[in-house]
Amino acid sequence: MELQDNNLFQEKTFENINVFSRSNYQAGDEEGNKDTSLERIKYAVGQRIIEDLDCLDELLGKRDFKYRLLGEKESQLRGKIFADSDMEFPHGMYEDFSKEDEEIFQRVKERVKELIYEENTALIFPVGFKEHIDHFIVREAGITTAREYKEEMNVTFYFAEDKPYAGISDEEELTRIKNFIEDNRLETIAFRHHPQKLIDLTFKHYISQVEEVYKKGIVQRNEKLMDVHSVDYPVDRIYKFNS
């Protein structure tokens, strides 16, 4: 939205890479989410892909964007248990990795490495607020590859604030992200935000995935960042890895 407002949109191309495209999850369907059959996966994945494409069509327009599926199993299909939180998600970090998680992590790293020599390219990863284990795997595949290849890569790595997790994180979780940013010397970049538009798009398109807490997370994080940056307009943040 900011690219559009600043007349930079048309010169960009976009690729959305859906790492964990195999899912059985539907918001609010406690019994159905226990079903890991192929029929349930077909039902959930079909819904989610259409939701993605419809939202991308509205956000980017029916233009030349790419949408890739890597085909990994989402956390619930790997037997992960939801965290004790006001939002359904499975928490996890390195110490929680199963053998399957480790194998996925290594595969995602290989996929990231395939992209690092692209010219004029930004790779954007979740920064991992609240450590949703799937977000954590993708984040760590990004940051470990960035550190390993920083002297030779052409791309720029960015880590974006996960929605709505940033706005519903407790102090311990916020501190872990602060440490991640500082330990990797990431540059904090604030930019004008469109929280209501983001909420509208999410509740319009992601019918099978969104929960009411999403609004709370978006609004609370925006209010916090407006205060931190001493501005009177909506603001969001992204973190840049400087090689």
Q: Cα-Cα-Cα-Cα dihedral of 43, 44, 50, 54, to 10°?
A: 140
Q: Which residues contact 46 (CB under 8 A, 6 or more apart)?
A: none
What are the residue ranges of helices labelled H in the chain? Answer: 2-5, 38-60, 99-113, 133-148, 171-183, 195-205, 213-228
pTM of the entire structure?
Answer: 0.94
The helix or strand, by DSSP H or E, that contains position 188, with its residue range, turns out to be: strand 187-192
Asked whether residue 64 carries a pLDDT value surpassing 90, the answer given is no
pLDDT value of residue 123 = 98
- 24-38, 176-190, 193-207, 228-242: segment of lowest average pLDDT: 24-38
Q: What architecture is the 2-241 domain classified under in CATH?
A: 3-Layer(aba) Sandwich (3.40)
Residue pair 131/175 in contact (Cβ under 8 Å)? The answer is no
The helix or strand, by DSSP H or E, that contains position 122, with its residue range, turns out to be: strand 122-126
Asked whether residue 90 carries a pLDDT value surpassing 90, the answer given is no
In percent, the amount of the chain with pLDDT more than 90 equals 86
Query: For the residues 92-111, what does the mean pLDDT come to?
Result: 96
Q: What are phi and psi of 114, to 5 degrees?
A: -65, -20
Distance CA 205, CA 50 (A): 9
Distance CA 153, CA 134 (A): 25
In this prediction, residue 85 has a pLDDT band, given cuts at 50, 70 and 90, of low
Helix (H, G, I), strand (E, B), or coil: what is residue 237?
strand
pLDDT value of residue 81 = 82
Residue spans per domain, the chain: 2-241
135-162, pLDDT tens digit by residue?
999 999 999 999 999 999 999 999 999 9
Query: For the residues 50-71, what does the mean pLDDT come to?
Result: 91
182-228, pLDDT tens digit by residue?
999 999 999 999 999 999 999 999 999 999 999 999 999 999 999 99
